[in-house]
Each structure stands twice: as C-alpha cells, then as structure tokens.
Copies of this chain bind each other. A is one copy, B any other.
Amino acid sequence: MFKKNLQVSDLGEKKLIERIVEKSKDFEFNSNKYLNSYIGDDAALIDFNNNLTNEKNYLVATTDLLIQKHHFPLQMSFFQMGWKAVTVNVSDIAAMGAKPVGILISLAIPPNLALESFEEMIDGILEACNYYKIPLIGGDTNEDDEIIISGTALGKVEQSLAKKKYGFKIGDKLAITGQLGLAALGFELLKEENKEIIEKSIENKKISSDLVDLSIDAALNPKARLNEGIILSKIASSVTDITDGLASELYELFEANKNFNRNNNLGIRVYEDKIANEPLFEEIYDLSKILNKDIFDLIFHIGEDFELLFTFNNDNENSIIDELSKKLNFIIIGEINNYNKVEIEYCDGKVQKLSSKGYEHLSND
C-alpha cells in the first residue's frame, strides 16, 4: 500500500495503470476466458469464436479519451479535433493488425458552443470514419465546460495474425513505417513564440515552407496506419503505434516481452545514424535547430507520430525485406539482441542505455 498523503501525480500514468492491473488480479472474473491480452497492450483481444469451426477471430477493443486543453492545440479546428479523436483510436486497432468493425464516440461540449462548430466536429469525426472505413455505431453527448471526446474502436483479426507488443526473437529487425519527428516539430511550429523566426527563416530560404506545412499537417491531421497494420499482421513479430515518443514505445516492447518471457535476456538496440537516414532527416534537422530543439529529443520523447513501430524475423536474409518493400514504406532502425536492455548507438559509435523519459501524463518528475 501507498503512504497516506501521496497524490496521483507522484506516480504518473504508467504506475497508476500498473496499480489497476495489480488490483484487478484480486478478482476471479478477470481470469476470464474471453481475455487474450494484457492491459498494457494497444488494445484488448477478446475471443469471438465458434467452437464448431476452425475460423478463430479476436474482437479487438481500445479506448482513448481526449481533453481539449491537453490534446487539442489552440490552432486546431473543430474538424481536426473530431478527426484526431477517431485517428488515435483507429491507430491502436492498426497496431493489432485488425480490420475496423465500428467506433463509439462520447462527446462533452460546452452549452454555448456554436452549432456550426459542433457540426464541424461531427464532420471531422465522420470524414475520418469514412477515411478508415470504420462505421460510427454509437455514442453519447454531454455538457461540460470544455470539449472532451472519448472514443472506443472495435476491430476484428484472425487469432493467428493478431500482433502484440511482444513476440519478437533474437536477431529480429526493428523498423518504423515512416518519418518520425514531423508531428512533434509541427506542434513546435504552432507555438506563438516561434511564429516570427519561422517566417524569417522561410523568407531567407533557410527552410522550405513545404516542410513547415508538412510538419503542421502531421500535427493537426494525423493519419493512423491502418493498411500498414494489416500488411504487417502477416509479416511482423510484434507491432505497436508510436504515440508517446519512440523511447517510451521501445520500453513498452521491452517490458511486454519481459512480462511474458521472464527468463530471456532480449534487448533492443536502435541506431542514431539509421534514424538519421530518413529521407527528410536533414531538412527536419535544420528546422529543429532553428527552433532551438534537438530533433532526437522530439523523436524519442515527444511522439504523436502515429507511425507503427515493428519487429520482423529476417532469417532468410533479404527476402522478407524485399517482400515488405513492395508493400509499404519502412525504415529499419535497429534490432533485437540478448543484452537485456534498451540501448542507443550514437553516430560516433558510442552505445548507451536509452533514457525512458517519453511524454508521460500526470507525472511530477
């Protein structure tokens, strides 16, 4: 038990969730036969089979709650708020390799919200549902001082294809589905204090307005990698989506494996130079420097990229890489080893334990 005067902020989100999981073990019903995932994964997997046939599916269920002042920057339109709320939930479905079944959305809105703004938000929700082909199947509206959008996405996946945060083996390659850092950079670009320097840098041709637009678009109009998740379900050994920064997600994989294979020594190593090999890296690097930001800090500790982070077995040398390359864009950034930790190898060859400090809610640290 904890000391009497502790506050939730003394623990942080991850420890609070661990506390819930720990408490839930006291109850017999939570050994329920329907449950096939642990609470730390991107989504829950629920057995929805018929014992009479061989087709074995999981229902995939995930929920995410977005609060105006924490998740929606001031520059975000009502349309974009609706779009983002659908995207964050679909992204978790994507990480499990599932196909969309339906989404439920609960809204809280201020009573003095202009009806036009409400309609824009609904348009954002429905256009996103249309984009991902996930029907809006239910919801709830409430009154509050600020906008809150809570979504629950449901998906379906063949049991043998469901992808979790564990399942990788020694020698597996570690990869991402696209450019990291753009969204984090976009959020920096949106800050009022950076407005002037951006305008000047574009004027002096130090940075391209295209990259500025691309970054802001990544921040305000994120896309979940749903199709990529379905492709990866047939090839990857583990998948998760990058919402809280790469470092935080790497530790999620590392810890998920530990939860299920206490006796192995699997570790993860990422390479700074491989991340720097991303097509747009040099331009992104220059832009972050102008903003007085370290691009690796944005990539490792801010996130909001909604790309997929995955591992795959590459025993047959390059045949799987060739196959994957035909189907989706990806960049190999590391591999699974047996050093029992999460490490980064810097461009100068120095190897160090990776700092786990991604963006974490509710923490005082």
* A101 CB within 8 Å of chain B: yes
A137, B364: Cα distance in complex, Å = 28
In the bound complex, residues from chain B placing their C-beta under 8 Å from that of A105 are: 63
- The distance from the CB of A348 to the nearest CB of chain B, in whole angstroms, is 38
Does A2 lie within 8 Å of B115, measured CB to CB? yes
Q: A115-B8, A150-B63, A361-B143 are in contact. Are A138 and B44 (CB under 8 A)?
A: yes
* A106 CB within 8 Å of chain B: yes
In the bound complex, residues from chain B placing their C-beta under 8 Å from that of A130 are: 27-29
Partner of A111, one of B7, B106, B133, B154: B7
Q: Which residue of B lies closest to A49 (CB)?
A: B50
Max chain B C-beta neighbours (<10 A), residue from A53, A105, A133, A138: A138
Interface size classification for chain A: 35 or more
Does B111 lie within 8 Å of A9, measured CB to CB? yes
* A183 CB within 8 Å of chain B: no
A16, B109: Cα distance in complex, Å = 11
Q: Which residue of B lies closest to A10 (CB)?
A: B115
- The distance from the CB of A50 to the nearest CB of chain B, in whole angstroms, is 5
In the bound complex, residues from chain B placing their C-beta under 8 Å from that of A30 are: 129, 135-136
A40, B131: Cα distance in complex, Å = 24
* A48 CB within 8 Å of chain B: yes
A321, B310: Cα distance in complex, Å = 59
**CB-defined interface of A1-45 with B at 8 Å, one 1/0 digit per residue?**
010111111110100110110011011111010110101000110
In the bound complex, residues from chain B placing their C-beta under 8 Å from that of A279 are: none
In the bound complex, residues from chain B placing their C-beta under 8 Å from that of A119 are: 2, 19, 23
Does A136 lie within 8 Å of B7, measured CB to CB? no
Does A362 lie within 8 Å of B50, measured CB to CB? no
Does B102 lie within 8 Å of A142, measured CB to CB? no
Does B67 lie within 8 Å of A135, measured CB to CB? no
**CB-defined interface of A66-80 with B at 8 Å, one 1/0 digit per residue?**
010010000000000
- The distance from the CB of A140 to the nearest CB of chain B, in whole angstroms, is 5
- The distance from the CB of A168 to the nearest CB of chain B, in whole angstroms, is 22
A61, B134: Cα distance in complex, Å = 14
Does B104 lie within 8 Å of A61, measured CB to CB? yes
In the bound complex, residues from chain B placing their C-beta under 8 Å from that of A7 are: 111-115
* A268 CB within 8 Å of chain B: no
Partner of A152, one of B6, B19, B50, B63: B63
Partner of A104, one of B2, B32, B118, B152: B152
Between A and B, 26 residue pairs with Cβ closer than 8 Å are A7-B111, A7-B112, A8-B118, A9-B112, A13-B142, A19-B122, A20-B122, A23-B122, A23-B126, A27-B126, A28-B130, A35-B135, A39-B139, A44-B102, A48-B48, A48-B59, A50-B53, A52-B55, A61-B104, A63-B152, A65-B140, A65-B142, A67-B108, A70-B142, A111-B362, A141-B361
Residue positions of A touching B, CB distance < 8 A = 2, 4-11, 13, 16-17, 19-20, 23-24, 26-30, 32, 34-35, 37, 39, 43-44, 46, 48-50, 52-53, 55, 59, 61-65, 67, 70, 101-102, 104-116, 118-119, 122-123, 126, 129-130, 133-144, 148, 150, 152, 154, 361-362, 364
Beyond contacts A65-B106, A70-B144, A150-B150: 11 other A-B pairs, Cβ-Cβ < 8 A, are A2-B119, A8-B118, A9-B111, A23-B126, A35-B102, A50-B53, A62-B104, A63-B138, A67-B142, A109-B362, A141-B362
Sorted from nearest, which 3 A-B pairs have the closest CB atoms? A9-B111, A44-B137, A65-B106
